[in-house]
Amino acid sequence: MKISDADRAEILVRALPYIQQYYNKTFVVKYGGNAMVSDELRDAVITDIVLLSLVGINVVLVHGGGPEITEMLEKIGKETRFVDGLRYTDRETMDVVQMVLAGKVNKSLVQLIGDRGGRALGLCGLDGNMIKAQKKKGKADLGFVGEIVDIDVTTLNDAMEKGYIPVVSTIAGGDDSNVYNINADLAASRIASSLHAEKLLLMTDVRGLLRDKDDEDTLISSVNVSEVPALKKQGIISGGMIPKIDCCVEAVRRGVKRTHIIDGRLPHSIIIEVFSREGIGTMFL
Amino acid sequence: MKISDADRAEILVRALPYIQQYYNKTFVVKYGGNAMVSDELRDAVITDIVLLSLVGINVVLVHGGGPEITEMLEKIGKETRFVDGLRYTDRETMDVVQMVLAGKVNKSLVQLIGDRGGRALGLCGLDGNMIKAQKKKGKADLGFVGEIVDIDVTTLNDAMEKGYIPVVSTIAGGDDSNVYNINADLAASRIASSLHAEKLLLMTDVRGLLRDKDDEDTLISSVNVSEVPALKKQGIISGGMIPKIDCCVEAVRRGVKRTHIIDGRLPHSIIIEVFSREGIGTMFL
Amino acid sequence: MKISDADRAEILVRALPYIQQYYNKTFVVKYGGNAMVSDELRDAVITDIVLLSLVGINVVLVHGGGPEITEMLEKIGKETRFVDGLRYTDRETMDVVQMVLAGKVNKSLVQLIGDRGGRALGLCGLDGNMIKAQKKKGKADLGFVGEIVDIDVTTLNDAMEKGYIPVVSTIAGGDDSNVYNINADLAASRIASSLHAEKLLLMTDVRGLLRDKDDEDTLISSVNVSEVPALKKQGIISGGMIPKIDCCVEAVRRGVKRTHIIDGRLPHSIIIEVFSREGIGTMFL
Amino acid sequence: MKISDADRAEILVRALPYIQQYYNKTFVVKYGGNAMVSDELRDAVITDIVLLSLVGINVVLVHGGGPEITEMLEKIGKETRFVDGLRYTDRETMDVVQMVLAGKVNKSLVQLIGDRGGRALGLCGLDGNMIKAQKKKGKADLGFVGEIVDIDVTTLNDAMEKGYIPVVSTIAGGDDSNVYNINADLAASRIASSLHAEKLLLMTDVRGLLRDKDDEDTLISSVNVSEVPALKKQGIISGGMIPKIDCCVEAVRRGVKRTHIIDGRLPHSIIIEVFSREGIGTMFL
Amino acid sequence: MKISDADRAEILVRALPYIQQYYNKTFVVKYGGNAMVSDELRDAVITDIVLLSLVGINVVLVHGGGPEITEMLEKIGKETRFVDGLRYTDRETMDVVQMVLAGKVNKSLVQLIGDRGGRALGLCGLDGNMIKAQKKKGKADLGFVGEIVDIDVTTLNDAMEKGYIPVVSTIAGGDDSNVYNINADLAASRIASSLHAEKLLLMTDVRGLLRDKDDEDTLISSVNVSEVPALKKQGIISGGMIPKIDCCVEAVRRGVKRTHIIDGRLPHSIIIEVFSREGIGTMFL
Amino acid sequence: MKISDADRAEILVRALPYIQQYYNKTFVVKYGGNAMVSDELRDAVITDIVLLSLVGINVVLVHGGGPEITEMLEKIGKETRFVDGLRYTDRETMDVVQMVLAGKVNKSLVQLIGDRGGRALGLCGLDGNMIKAQKKKGKADLGFVGEIVDIDVTTLNDAMEKGYIPVVSTIAGGDDSNVYNINADLAASRIASSLHAEKLLLMTDVRGLLRDKDDEDTLISSVNVSEVPALKKQGIISGGMIPKIDCCVEAVRRGVKRTHIIDGRLPHSIIIEVFSREGIGTMFL
């Protein structure tokens, strides 16, 4: 990169209004997908998180499990049972999920942030009784798959007040003393609204919402949540995008200012989204 | 139990001087051994911890791994390699250690405390950059077995100030970005001295230090750390007790008021130790 | 008492839920009757108060005068004048009341609490302009017998915030610059409601409210304040119990969660009431 | 008084430098003698205290007993026993002293300050374990006459921080659980030095230290504590002035900036002393 | 002045109720007219301000420009242009106004307060974005004469909280990045109401509102703002008094307790007004 | 500028270590020379200041007068008198200096910062009694040219604690109640050391210290203050650079970590200096 001092200064200066706008605001970042697999992408995400934190933004990093859960299940020779085509989480599987999420993925992220000069705290829904869950209701019994009953963000606020970046694994305890696995996108959405966050950023493996899913040039930059039903009817929101966008809509409805679907495959997509006028993904407001 | 109201009152009243004495003091409890295996004993430990916390004592719970690490290693078919008769911790093993300790044992303790009405925070040496480690020096290369380079108790103090019971897994990061497994007794001893703790309580599977190791009636209630070398020479301190007692001595030398070796096989041994004149184990001062 | 360590631990553990429930709550204890006369009972009350304070309960101790006022009046050869069968409090008598209450009884309680390791502050209605009184209205002129016009609990809150146990003599100043004697039960009731106390405990010389006043086995453990009029009509609440129970009812009506009439003749009746499921007196709610 | 508006303004303006100088400083006033007997003088003292407090000076009012103790002892027909010419304080006398000081004189001062718009707290050496005493050592056994063992000014600082004027009776508890009577001048001196007070003002019934004790025009305005031994040798400091001036010297030696002997027989002598250049009594520094 | 100590004490004592009444209240003083010209009067004003501040009153000093602006305009040979008989403020004039007000008059007042032992902060409407202005609307274009759009008293509160006396020049910025000159009486009125001030004191060159403007003995001491329209109709409020009294009325309407028109030609008129029962000017309430 | 999103992200990311390093540190910027004259340069300086402030750096902006003082002196037809070749500052000149600096330049900078979203406070040495000066000693009498006697940075710390950017004009009061003009470079140096600043940045109209003053390629990037005497002897430090570099040396000697001479003629030279490894001027350490 051969960029002059003047250009570098200009770029920092252009970040100024965004720094002002987001000072002391809270961002919830849902981290998952390819950005968890590639070392280079993961380093870029961590750097972005630390940078946001340094310019005065309170960041909560909510993460999923990535392929490490599968890998561990394979190692112990666990065969996945399916119920009506859905994966059943028995107790042994749940134990692996908990261990990999809260013990491996979470603490590794904490370490990476620490190595970059940030101060992180690796938490899950059990810490400080943050998330209360119950067995997910539905036709099929999916075992220890849970749904959120209640969120108490005191622990997150305590951590952020003391200057930590909370890193959150989305497992949670029930009144029955079981531990449940919670969908990370949903948990991030609920945490964001409980914290009255300024932004929820969902990292995905797509460019954003595309009018034509095969043409990245048809990216829709901004969607008002009231347009979502129509976009679903037209088939523009479909497949795996439906639950992700539902999380975005839900968060906006519960008071999060803006939610973004961003492409985790691009390095520093968080910073580009936050510190530029156009952003690079799809914003819901 | 048929105890009259008057007797019950009397017992509470007799706890009074201990509550006064320990108000706002810090206790570090090293939890391990049989007390981690039996459900009944574990429940008693958790209850004791919550009770100490409620009467104004700041408690830090440091835990080992118990048989769950071995069980998991077996599950993945990992064979242990020995070097000079000592277990070698390769990266795969270290991953399992981290997962089981920080993801399973730690968060389960957090959940149990939460279910009893306490508020716990499940941390490890990586959180808030609490413990810095390096590869353990010595004749044999033991892999990712670490020794403590530095302890920063800011995160523990932040947590206690906000009213949480920190639960600590003793894994720690190095400047080489590796994660190391730290001996839990040693870590508890160092944490206690860094916190200027009033007490360090090491839970063991023995009655305490016995003059005749086959006769529990020969329990030595109190040992001045200056007597330890003589006791070693006499063979009274021997075998597996040596490293445990070294931890006690080290803690006292670095400023912990009193350290105790207590019998984790007795339910509520913590409470009995703390709230009675004689105590039930061996105290080092 | 030959109680095993295990039983002792069990009893402490059983107190746990009560300690949790009452943490940082406020209890107002009206201290009077036989519990003020017997040295043993008085010591037990003081111990109970200090214990409550240590487990995080804010205690306000309101006391009456006991026989010491009468004794002092006799010493100075004061003859009591009666008006319509009621004792008339002239200025000389009022001076004695003030001296004995605020100078002797109050400060002796402060000293006892101090000797037990607590930190007490001996206050009366004049301190910090806490209670404003006026001459009691009624048919008979009873001299310097007063009724409460206004209560300002700022001083009590200041004292409790700084960790003191306020001990309160129920004398109060009027706008006419006179000092008035206030009924201690009434004052305790009003103080409790002004502090939004969790509990008001009135120590009496009876077992509680008895269905048959000659049979302690007919104790009524719990009374809803709405039942009180019927209990009066039935004669179950009668005589000296009427004003005491009216204080309880009034306190509950003004927002105190629960009020208790307990037997001051039993040592540690406060602790037994607070830390057991059944309690030992009569609770109004 | 026919004083013009301009003159009134001028007088207020002239107080300016003193208000600046003493802002947030602590003054200990020992109140006693004639100023306690005359209603007019007492009102003036109270007004002065409230005024000092309003212009930002922290005032601690330490009082003696005046003739009210004697009066009460007479009322109960107590005859004073003398030991080597010194009054013996038996337990009954001590009880009267405690009652009159802490119950009557103290709380009446609290009430007067309250009526003038101030907020006072009536304390004694027992409150918050402020003063620890022991039986006074010496040739003669004087009963419950005590000497100060230790002073803990936490309670006074807590009270002043919350904006109260502490009013202090100089009785104190011993480790033997007895109550002792402490000389008020000595207590005031020790309280002043423990509080690092700016000023100690001792109210007396004389004009100050006079070179010729029969001629008020020979008032010595200012004495350096190093001159005191010479003044004693010359007989200028003699009789009842000796212990008072010893209190002043002791206070200065222990760090009180300036101590003053002022004439309590003059109304508003405190204000005149504090807010004028010359003062009206004798200053020790 | 030959006033006895006793009289001096008496005068200080009489100030007591006013000090109590105004403790921690906020006074806004508009300083202008002759009181700015005479050195003696200015010194008296500064002394009064410092005295108010010392007895616990928060004072904000708002000042006008006096003859120094005219003097400076003359020095640079600026001729004043008139529009419909009103002075037009062109940019060069506005620059002079800004320099003289914020650079000379303001900082000189800050220095005088500093020399008297006070701590002042010289601010204008630009500091901390305190006053937002816009070009004054009206028939004639008067150039950079502004009217207040918005007041943010955060900066004043920050300054007073830290113990400073804010001195305010009434120039303010617009969204067009111009600086506007604001009428100081109006600004003081708006600042007083935004601060919920206890008092607004407008210093003038008249005795107050006179029933007969040629006879100072006809001073009206107190006016209810509801009487103002009638007084205008009667011609009692007329000429230059109209805008001043409108400022008083406006302030009272917006919540200032009392506003006063006082005579700046009398030395210490502020102190006389504040610390005496009758006051010396005209009070609006 | 055609810079890709990725490059923009990269540049922000590269700023990360500097933001971490300087978080909550204090920078003193001396603003003067060409950077005050050009609108473009001034805007860039203001933007840089606001950006530093947003990323958590406490900035104090000390400014000189630029050509506006000369312009104003010309306007009033003031002729400059010279004494031994040095400009004599008579009272009329000093008045102009004060007005232009504290009234015009200072408040305009405050306004510009406010318009950019910052919150500034326009102060001078008189505010809060910040700088105490005296007539400068020396052979020639230069009138109201002053030298610093004492600096009290309480007001600057109060302002920064409340989140303001202090903008400081370097005029100061003396004990003789005169106002003195202080050299702005010297004042900035002393303010920086009194604040224990991390950095002092002196803006100049040169590239930095050049080994050959006619060749900008000979810039010396870093100088240890111990090398300065040699550099002077060699003539590399000469002429107008001498006093500037003396200010840098003095600041480093009194504890400022690093001082920088930077080229105010380059836009955003502050940001380039702070957020890049090489910097662009000459650093003294």
Residue pLDDT, tens place only, A211-270: 998 898 999 999 999 999 999 999 999 998 999 999 999 999 999 999 999 999 999 999
Q: Which residue of F has its CA nearest to E102?
A: F103
Give the mean pLDDT of chain B. 94
Asked if the Cβ–Cβ distance from C9 to B117 is below 8 Å, we say no
Domain residue limits at E248: 24-284
Least CB–CB distance from F98: residue in E72, E104, E158: E104
CATH number at residue D101: 3.40.1160.10
pLDDT at C67 > cutoff 70: yes
Q: Which of E2, E3, E5, E45 should one mutate to test binding to chain D, selecting the residue with the greatest count of D CBs within 10 A?
A: E5
Greatest mean pLDDT range, B5-9, B33-37, D66-70, F220-224:
F220-224
Least CB–CB distance from B11: residue in C8, C116, C117: C8
**What is the per-residue DSSP string for A94-128?**
HHHHHIIIIIIIHHHHHHHHHHTT--EEEEETTGG
Q: Which residue of C has its CA nearest to B271?
A: C9
Asked if residue B90 belongs to a domain, the reply is yes
Contact of E281 with E263, CB cutoff 8 Å? yes
pLDDT at B1 > cutoff 60: no
Asked if residue E152 belongs to a domain, the reply is yes
Give the mean pLDDT of chain F. 94
Which residues in chain B have their CB less than 8 angstroms from residue C17's CB? 117
Query: What pLDDT, on a 0 to 100 scale, did the predictor assign at position C34?
Result: 87
Asked if residue E69 belongs to a domain, the reply is yes
Which residues in chain C have their CB less than 8 angstroms from residue D110's CB? 126-127
Asked if residue E5 belongs to a domain, the reply is no
- Encode pLDDT of B126-142 as tens digits: 999 999 999 999 888 99
Total structural domains in chain C? 1
Which residues in chain D have their CB less than 8 angstroms from residue C152's CB? none
How far does the CA of residue D134 sit from the closest CA of chain C (Å)? 14
Chain C CB within 8 Å of residue B257 CB: no
Asked if residue D49 belongs to a domain, the reply is yes
Query: What pLDDT, on a 0 to 100 scale, did the predictor assign at position C4?
Result: 84
Tell me the one-letter amino acid at B102. Answer: A
Query: What pLDDT, on a 0 to 100 scale, did the predictor assign at position E65?
Result: 87
How far does the CA of residue A143 sit from the closest CA of chain F (Å)? 43
Mean pLDDT of F150-155: 97
Which residues in chain A have their CB less than 8 angstroms from residue B103's CB? 98-104, 106-107
Asked if residue B191 belongs to a domain, the reply is yes
Angle made by CA atoms B123, B124, B128, in degrees to the nearest 5? 80
Asked if residue D14 belongs to a domain, the reply is no
* Contacts with A, F 95-124, CB within 8 Å: 116-117
Mean pLDDT of E211-222: 92
Mean pLDDT of D100-126: 97
Adjacent-strand bridge partners of F28: F60, F200
Question: Rounded to 10 degrees, what is the CA torsion of A191, A195, A197, A202?
Answer: -10
Asked if the Cβ–Cβ distance from F107 to E126 is below 8 Å, we say yes
Mean pLDDT of B222-233: 96
Which residues in chain E have their CB less than 8 angstroms from residue F99's CB? 72, 99-100, 103-104
Contact of C270 with C47, CB cutoff 8 Å? no
Going by pLDDT thresholds of 50, 70 and 90, the confidence category of residue B44 is: very high
Chain D CB within 8 Å of residue E55 CB: yes
Q: What is the pTM of this model?
A: 0.91
Asked if the Cβ–Cβ distance from C100 to D104 is below 8 Å, we say no
Query: What pLDDT, on a 0 to 100 scale, did the predictor assign at position E99?
Result: 97
pLDDT at B79 > cutoff 90: no
Chain E CB within 8 Å of residue D3 CB: yes
Least CB–CB distance from E104: residue in F103, F127, F128: F103
Percent of chain B with pLDDT over 90: 84
Mean pLDDT of B105-119: 97
Adjacent-strand bridge partners of E27: E59, E199
- Encode pLDDT of A49-76 as tens digits: 999 999 999 999 999 986 899 999 999 9
Q: Which residue of B has its CA nearest to C16?
A: B51
Could you give the ipTM of this predicted complex?
0.94
Neighbour tally for C242: CB within 10 Å = 12
Asked if the Cβ–Cβ distance from A3 to F11 is below 8 Å, we say yes
Contact of A213 with A272, CB cutoff 8 Å? no
Cβ–Cβ pairs < 8 A, chains D and E: 105
- Taking the alpha carbons at both ends of chain F, their separation in whole angstroms is 35
Task: State the Cα–Cα distance between residues A75 and F249, nearest whole angstrom.
Answer: 65
Which residues in chain D have their CB less than 8 angstroms from residue C155's CB? 119, 121, 164
pLDDT at B24 > cutoff 90: yes
* Contacts with A, B 140-169, CB within 8 Å: 155, 158, 162, 164
pLDDT at F226 > cutoff 60: yes
How far does the CA of residue E269 sit from the closest CA of chain D (Å)? 8
How far does the CA of residue C115 sit from the closest CA of chain D (Å)? 7
- Encode pLDDT of E49-93 as tens digits: 999 999 999 999 999 986 899 999 999 998 878 887 778 999 999
Query: What pLDDT, on a 0 to 100 scale, did the predictor assign at position F178?
Result: 97
Asked if the Cβ–Cβ distance from B10 to C50 is below 8 Å, we say no
Pairing of strands D165-169, A58-63: unpaired
Asked if the Cβ–Cβ distance from E121 to F155 is below 8 Å, we say yes
Which residues in chain F have their CB less than 8 angstroms from residue E177's CB? 111, 115
Question: Rounded to 10 degrees, what is the CA torsion of A17, A19, A25, A27?
Answer: 110
pLDDT at F1 > cutoff 70: no
Chain E CB within 8 Å of residue D10 CB: yes
**What is the per-residue DSSP string for chain F?**
----HHHHHHHHHHHHHHHHHHTT-EEEEEE-THHHH-HHHHHHHHHHHHHHHHTT-EEEEEE--THHHHHHHHHTTPPPEEETTEEEB-HHHHHHHHIIIIIIIHHHHHHHHHHTT--EEEEETTGGG-EEEEEPPSSS--BSBEEEEEE-THHHHHHHHTT-EEEEE-EEEETTS-EEE--HHHHHHHHHHHTT-SEEEEEESSSS-BSSTT-GGGB--EE-GGGHHHHHHTTSS-TTHHHHHHHHHHHHHTT-SEEEEEETTSTTHHHHHHTSSS-SSEEE-
CA E272, distance to chain mean position in Å, is 17
pLDDT at A19 > cutoff 60: yes
Which residues in chain D have their CB less than 8 angstroms from residue C180's CB? none
Query: What pLDDT, on a 0 to 100 scale, did the predictor assign at position C3?
Result: 77
Least CB–CB distance from A129: residue in B101, B114, B162: B114
Query: What pLDDT, on a 0 to 100 scale, did the predictor assign at position B82?
Result: 80
pLDDT at B56 > cutoff 70: yes
Asked if residue D136 belongs to a domain, the reply is yes
pLDDT at D148 > cutoff 60: yes
Going by pLDDT thresholds of 50, 70 and 90, the confidence category of residue E260 is: very high
**What is the per-residue DSSP string for E98-121?**
HIIIIIIIHHHHHHHHHHTT--EE
Query: What pLDDT, on a 0 to 100 scale, did the predictor assign at position B253?
Result: 96
How far does the CA of residue F152 sit from the closest CA of chain A (Å)? 30
Which residues in chain E have their CB less than 8 angstroms from residue D280's CB? 5
Going by pLDDT thresholds of 50, 70 and 90, the confidence category of residue B277 is: confident
Angle made by CA atoms A223, A226, A230, in degrees to the nearest 5? 85
Mean pLDDT of F245-259: 96
Going by pLDDT thresholds of 50, 70 and 90, the confidence category of residue D99 is: very high
Chain B CB within 8 Å of residue C49 CB: no
Least CB–CB distance from A13: residue in F9, F56, F271: F271
Task: State the Cα–Cα distance between residues F274 and F277, nearest whole angstrom.
Answer: 8
- Encode pLDDT of F199-220 as tens digits: 999 999 999 999 998 898 999 9
Query: What pLDDT, on a 0 to 100 scale, did the predictor assign at position D140?
Result: 85
Which residues in chain D have their CB less than 8 angstroms from residue C110's CB? 126-127
- Encode pLDDT of E134-182 as tens digits: 999 988 899 999 999 999 999 999 999 999 999 999 999 999 999 999 9
* Contacts with E, F 68-97, CB within 8 Å: 72, 75-77, 95
CA C94, distance to chain mean position in Å, is 21
Mean pLDDT of B233-242: 93
